[in-house]
Structure 1
Amino acid sequence: MKNSVFLLIVLFLSVTACKKNQSENTKDTADAGISSDSITAIAKQAWIYGYPMFYNYKTMYASAIAKGAKTYVGFNKFKSYSNSATPTDTLVVTINNDTPYSTAAIDVSDEPVILQVPKIEGDRYFVMQFTDLYTFNFEYVGSRVTGNQGGKYLVAGPDWKGETPKGIDKVLHSETNLIFLIGRTELDSPSDVPNLKKIQEQYKLIPLHEYTKQPAPQVKKYNMPLPEWKEADYSSVEFINVLNALLQYTSEDSSEKELRANFAKIGIVPGVPFDSSKYSPETIKAIEKGIAEAKQELDSKLNGLLDSSSLFGTRASLKNNYLNRAIAAAAGLYGNTKEEAVYTGSATDKDKQPLNGNNKYILKFPKGQLPEAKYFWSITMYNLPKRFLVLNPINRYSIGAKTKGLKFEPNGDLIIYLYSESPGKDKESNWLPTPKNQDFNFVLRIYGPQPDVINNVWKMPLPEKVK
């Protein structure tokens, strides 16, 4: 008996000493046999994997966490913008200038929320796009999918298994507990702003317990707090800490088990703080090399991007192509799935030369060659490399099917003038100003694209330099 007790004590002390040794002298698994090349490859993949999550979180942070930000409202609350965007709106790159936003950062960690939308009169286009933390567009409510008759939709996280209350039109399931909701409502003209505001005021997010008139649920606790958003974090090994905090709010898809296991080899584990001091200098250097290689690849792909229409969608449609997901976030975070809206555009002219405001261009759509859209199409101008709207004397940032006074040629062609200065009073109705002494690109958005557009049968013309 004494021997048995003695053995148990020895075993306990051995295990305790082992755990203490691990906690005080932790060496990452990379130091225990993984080559530097493997560490670099894992870090590169993880950086690309996390890139869209990081910049998605930037928007969520400004909306729901950073109380000093002008965009702050808190979680599960709408913030609506009743005017078209201007060059002062720099939170999101390639911002949409046709349909003013109603946005909300949603946290369904504790319970679902109910989205309530009103009946929208006439043929006014609106859409509610649900984007999870990964940046997958997992659901839609709006003119195309659910119609304009209004409704109530329950938005639930991956762990919710409750009963659907009465009056709910549909349950929308997210892979992540953090969600960003991007609502867009068509604005016809400046005189239409009061009507737009009335609609936006009726967009509501209601916590489930309030909807069912029950007590509030227990608050879910996470191991790591949501971090302060710092741009510099994603250029250093600190990106691992940020990623570990964000991954707490996700579910692990079965297709990513091996990927997540590889990430763990360099300390990427949901809810576990990353301490770089416990890793060898060689490992840190290999991780930094992976970050540099990932940045280089992303920049290279981004510079050659011509068509982003297939870069946005569900996990199933994107087929876990993490590089494409990162390219999409860098090119234009919160782009729509192509069935909702197709985006195309260019940063080069017909001769494959960069577009620059020192030159004059025309964009000509021959008769019968405009993009077919159930709702409307528009072209928006952006400066490069920032991808923000372009300050100009007529305060026009986009042009398209809804532009008042747009003129067609006698033969039915439509010509858009891409000039930094006026093309002449008789042509200003078709003028989309470009930035002086700067490179630029433009994005053509097609809302309610028809099959030829969705299937790439229709091709956008490229600008022609005016000699």
Structure 2
Amino acid sequence: NFINVSGQQFNTIHVMDDHFYEEVNEVIQREPGEGQDPEILGQLASIGIKKGQPFKPDARMQKILKEAADVAAVTVRALASRPREDMFYYYPGNGVWTTPFPGGSYQFLDKNNARYLDARAYFHFYATGITPAMVQAPYGKGSTYAVAYMDSTGNPLDGTKTYKVHVPANVPGKSFWSFTLYDNQTRAMLQTDQQFPGIDMNKKDLVKNADGSYDIYFGFKAPEGKEANWLQTAPGKGWNMIWRIYGPTKPWYDRSWKIGDPEVVK
């Protein structure tokens, strides 16, 4: 049954409080057990989520689950917005752009086969799908993602301020590049008066600098004369952005080409 949802508004946001466990229980009840990781099923069973059985935590367990959800929510938001370890940064000590794939593994494994638990939590909190092509594709294939929650001074991106990101010439991508804005609270695309909170190199009226570079602006109001290269933000809302390259090539991976940090425009 194909349902056309074009132009419709509907909620795709997972809850972040203790009702999260009810969502998990619904998945476990609907899906065959063979499709789930036995380790995860065992952990869920320890808190009362078992296939074929009602999930009815008593008052004691409800208190535990509420506290666990609250702690998990703030922990994973911190992991995503301001990672402490250099391995999360594309340019450690020299830039704010982060990767949810430290070590270049879509399985979040290091060279000794240990799993980066913080990285896995960051990615699956932030994103909705995963594929090896996000990390391990050959040059000129797949895609790459860089996330910015902060400006060049290390302050969180603020919907009341205006920022500029400089995109140097000769972007190392075979297909195209783009920016997309997201709401820190919901993790969904940022809702503004613009129909789509994104801009890419295929935009017909995008203005290129004389040297082949681009300057992209972000703020509630477009700087005068920069409307074609502008994405709108929302006052009172924290936001973040993803820079994507489709078909990334060697200069992206060896860091010889560097995307600019978001800079406050005064």
| Superposed counterparts of 1:131-280, under 5 Å | 231=15, 234-235=18-19, 238=22, 241-242=25-26, 244-246=28-30, 248-253=32-37, 256-257=38-39, 260-277=41-58
Unaligned runs of 5+ in 1: 1-72, 94-229
8 Å CA contact retained: 2:217, 2:230: yes
Q: What is the identity, as a one-letter code, of the residue corresponding to 1:402?
A: N
The residue that corresponds to 1:448 in the other structure is 247
For 2:197 and 2:65, the matched residues in 1 are separated by 41
Greater relative contact order (Cα 8 A, min sep 6): structure 1 or 2? 2
For 2:200 and 2:130, the matched residues in 1 are separated by 19
8 Å CA contact retained: 1:248, 1:271: no
Correspondence for 1:378 among 161, 167, 178? 178
The residue that corresponds to 2:231 in the other structure is 432
Match of 2:161, SS state, is coil
The residue that corresponds to 2:78 in the other structure is 300
Unaligned runs of 5+ in 2: 84-96
For 2:237 and 2:69, the matched residues in 1 are separated by 29
Q: What is the identity, as a one-letter code, of the residue corresponding to 2:234?
A: P
| Superposed counterparts of 1:249-398, under 5 Å | 249-253=33-37, 256-257=38-39, 260-277=41-58, 281-304=59-82, 306-310=97-101, 315=107, 324-334=119-129, 337-338=134-135, 339=137, 340-368=142-170, 370=171, 372-386=172-186, 387-392=188-193, 395=195, 397-398=197-198
Q: CA RMSD in A?
A: 3.8
For 1:452 and 1:309, the matched residues in 2 are separated by 20
Q: What is the identity, as a one-letter code, of the residue corresponding to 1:355?
A: L
Once the two structures are TM-superposed, the CA of residue 440 in structure 1 deviates from its matched residue by: 2.5
Match of 1:276, SS state, is coil
TM-score, normalised on structure 2? Answer: 0.69
Q: What is the identity, as a one-letter code, of the residue corresponding to 1:290?
A: A
8 Å CA contact retained: 2:16, 2:73: no
Rg (Cα) greater in structure:
1
Match of 1:416, SS state, is strand
Q: Which has the higher helix share?
A: 1
Once the two structures are TM-superposed, the CA of residue 342 in structure 1 deviates from its matched residue by: 1.5
Count of matched residue pairs: 241
8 Å CA contact retained: 1:90, 1:388: no
Q: What is the identity, as a one-letter code, of the residue corresponding to 1:295?
A: A
Match of 1:362, SS state, is strand
8 Å CA contact retained: 1:237, 1:276: no
* Identity between Structure 1 and Structure 2 (%): 22
